[in-house]
Amino acid sequence: MSRAVERAIRDFANGFLAHSANDTLRQAISAGALQADAYYQSLLRLIYRILFLMVIEERGLIFPSGADATKRDMYYHYYSLQRLRRMAEKRYLADRRKHDLWLSLLATFRIFEAGGPGHKLGIAPLAGDLFSPDAIGLFGRCTLGNDVLLGCVHSLGLYEHPDTGQIIRVNYAALNVEEFGSVYEGLLEYKPHFLPADNHIEFTFTQGDERAITGSHYTPDDLVQPLIKYSLDYLIAEKLQEPDAEKALLSLRVADIACGSGHILLAAARRIAAELAIIRTGEEQPAPAAFRAAVRDVIRECIYGVDQNPLAIELCNSHSAPPWRRSTYFPWAFFTRTAIPSSVMLWL
Low-confidence ranges of the chain (pLDDT < 70): 1, 127-128, 176-186, 208-221, 261, 311-348
CB 54 within 8 A of CB 156: yes
46 in a structural domain: yes
Looking at the structure, do residues 270 and 171 belong to the same domain, yes or no? no
Q: Does 266 share its domain with 248?
A: yes
* 223 and 133 both lie in a single domain: no
Q: What would the pLDDT profile of 220-246 be if each residue is shown by its tens digit? A: 667 778 888 888 999 999 999 999 999
Whole-number Cα distances in Å, 233 to 240, 275, 276, 315: 11, 10, 13, 26
What is the pLDDT, as a whole number, of residue 340?
33
Residue 240 near residue 330 (C-beta atoms within 8 A): no
> Under the phi-then-psi rule, with left for phi > 0, alpha for psi from -120 to 50, and beta for the rest, what region is 215?
left
Residue 342 lies in a domain: no
Q: Distance between CA atoms of 1 and 316, rounded to whole angstroms?
A: 19
Q: Is residue 245 exposed (0-12), middle (13-18) or buried (19+ Cβ within 10 Å)?
A: middle
The pLDDT value given to residue 341: 32
Q: Report CA 222 to chain centroid distance, whole Å.
A: 22
Whether residue 346 is contained in a domain is answered as no
Interatomic CA distance for residues 230 and 232, integer angstroms:
6
CA–CA gap between residue 60 and residue 325 (Å, rounded): 13
Q: Are residues 48 and 136 in the same domain?
A: yes
Last residue of a domain, one of 191, 213, 235: 213
Same domain, 225 and 183: no
Separation between Cα atoms, residue 72 and residue 70, nearest integer Å: 5
Residues in the chain: 348
Residues 6+ apart with CB under 8 A from 188: 208, 210, 211, 214, 216
Evaluate whether residue 347 is within a structural domain: no
Residue 147 maps to a domain: yes
If one counts every other C-beta atom within 10 angstroms of the C-beta of residue 341, the result is: 9
* Domain end marker among 213, 239, 273: 213
Range of the domain at 42: 2-213
Query: Looking at residue 272, what is its pLDDT?
Result: 94
Query: Are 230 and 181 in a shared domain?
Result: no
pLDDT of residue 324: 39
Flag whether 341 is in a domain: no
Residue 38 shares a structural domain with residue 187: yes
Supply the pLDDT for residue 78: 94
Same domain? For 96 and 166 the reply is yes
SS (H, E, C) 48-91: HHHHHHHHHHHCCCCCCCCCCHHHHHHHHHHCCHHHHHHHHCCH
Q: What is the pTM of this model?
A: 0.76
User: Same domain for 241 and 305?
Assistant: yes
In a domain, 348, yes or no: no
Residue 324 class from Cβ within 10 Å (0-12 exposed, 13-18 middle, 19+ buried)? Answer: middle
**CA–CA distance, 141 with 23 (Å, rounded to integer):** 11
Q: Give the total number of structural domains in the chain.
A: 2
On whether residue 343 sits in a domain, the answer given is: no
Tell me how crowded residue 67 is: count the other CB atoms within 10 A of its CB.
15
Question: How many CA atoms within 13 Å lie on the side-chain side of 218?
Answer: 15
Question: What pLDDT sits at residue 215?
Answer: 52
Same domain, 159 and 264: no
User: Pick from 113, 126, 141, 137: which is nearest to 42 by CA?
Assistant: 137
Q: CA distances (Å), 309 to each of 31, 147, 249, 321, 335, in order?
A: 27, 33, 30, 21, 7
195, 213, 231 — which closes off a domain?
213
CA distances from 154 to 55, 148, 208, 252 (A): 15, 10, 27, 43
Taking the C-alpha atoms of residue 146 and residue 128, their distance in angstroms, rounded to an integer, is 29
Are the beta carbons of 246 and 282 closer than 8 angstroms? no
Q: Quick one: 161 and 44 in the same domain? A: yes
**191 plus 110 within the same structural domain:** yes
